[in-house]
Every structure is written in C-alpha cells, then in structure tokens.
C-alpha cells in the first residue's frame, strides 16, 4: 500500500509540481486520505492521495480482491482568489473515502454528491467524474494490479446534476462545451438547460 501511494505522489509531483500545502483526514474505519494543493498560475489544483491504496471493490462481491480492481485518485482544478476553495479539503477527502465507506466504484461519468456546498458559498454540492489521462497520466502498476487513474472532478450545480441524471454525463459535458462554460470558475452559475 505505501509503495503504491509513494508512486502516486511521485506521479502527482511529476505532473503538477511541488505541492504548496497538504492536509490529512481520517474517517472512522478507513485509511487516511491526504489532499495535496498545487498552484499553477491562477489555477489551484487539489489532488487526493490515499484512495488508490487499495482497489475499489464491487459492493456485491462476497470478498474484496486485495490486488485486482480499479484504483483512482481525484483531481479538482479551480481558479484561485475568487472563493474560499481551501475549505474543499474535507469534501474531497469524503469523496475519496467513499469506495471504502460506501463500497462504490468511482468511474468516469459518475456523479458524487457531498450534500453540502463544496466550499463556503459554492453553488456546487456535487461533481461529475471526468475521464482520466489528461492532466495527470495514468500510473501503470506491476501486474496483476490495475493502473491508478487520476480522475478530474467537474463541479455541478444542483440543476446540472438533476439534468445529468436524465440526459447523461456526455450530454451535460456537450452542453458545457457548446456554451463555453468555464468549469474552473468557483462562482459560475448553472449552464442554461432549456
């Protein structure tokens, strides 16, 4: 486990630079999850470290495979200086712990909801999980372990989350793209959904 997390942190540093801050959160009955903060010009990136320590298990499986299964970490990018996004650390840690706590498999196209604003005054309570392989390349591990995928999180307003449930993740992403939505704007409103 520690070896996997050391490789994950090395990949994050290689892709995003040196973190300027880190915080650790531990929930009862789970392993510790850290959130690292990286500054890139006016963009602040938050990445989880700890979610990939063990593979995500199918909640219907009788026994969880300790080696095989999808592994991931979460990455959130927002414009700095516009909102108190530093308070997103705990919600991100909650999302990263959800495979251990709730037995969910976090994959592209999924919606994750924290039930409260992601940070004070945020118009978002949930995120859309996007495809990996962009900002931070997937990390191959020794067989038979699955690679670690670094999944971008795209904040969604409650209206967008409801629309996504009906029309799907791809349709919402196309709507954002067609309207030129700045998904890094921590104060943006909902994209028009008519």
- pTM beyond cutoff 0.85: yes
40 φ, ψ (degrees, to nearest 5): -140, 85
| pLDDT at res. 30 | 75
Nearest 10 degrees: Cα torsion 126, 130, 133, 134: -80
Report d(CA 178, CA 80) in Å as an integer.
Answer: 24
| pLDDT at res. 2 | 53
| pLDDT at res. 27 | 78
| pLDDT at res. 160 | 97
3-state secondary structure of 70: coil
3-state secondary structure of 107: coil
Report d(CA 62, CA 51) in Å as an integer.
Answer: 21
Residue spans of the chain under pLDDT 70: 1-2, 59-60
């Amino acid at each position: 486990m520690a070896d996997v997390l050391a490789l994950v942190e090395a990949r994050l540093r290689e892709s995003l630079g040196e973190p300027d801050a880190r915080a650790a959160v531990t929930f009862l009955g789970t392993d510790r999850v850290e959130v690292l903060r990286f500054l890139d010009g006016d963009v602040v990136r938050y990445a989880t470290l700890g979610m990939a320590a063990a593979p995500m298990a199918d909640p219907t499986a009788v026994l969880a495979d300790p080696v095989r299964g999808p592994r991931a970490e979460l990455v959130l990018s927002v414009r700095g200086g516009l909102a108190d996004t530093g308070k997103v650390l705990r919600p991100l840690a909650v999302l990263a712990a959800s495979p251990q706590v709730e037995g969910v498999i976090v994959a592209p196209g999924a919606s994750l909801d924290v039930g409260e604003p992601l940070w004070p005054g945020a118009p978002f309570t949930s995120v859309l999980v996007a495809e990996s392989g962009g900002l931070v390349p997937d990390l191959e591990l020794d067989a038979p372990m699955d690679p670690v995928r670094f999944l971008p999180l795209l904040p969604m307003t409650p209206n967008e989350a409801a629309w996504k449930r009906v029309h799907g993740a791809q349709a919402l992403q196309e709507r954002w793209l067609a309207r030129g939505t700045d998904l890094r704007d921590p104060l943006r409103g909902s994209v028009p959904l008519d």
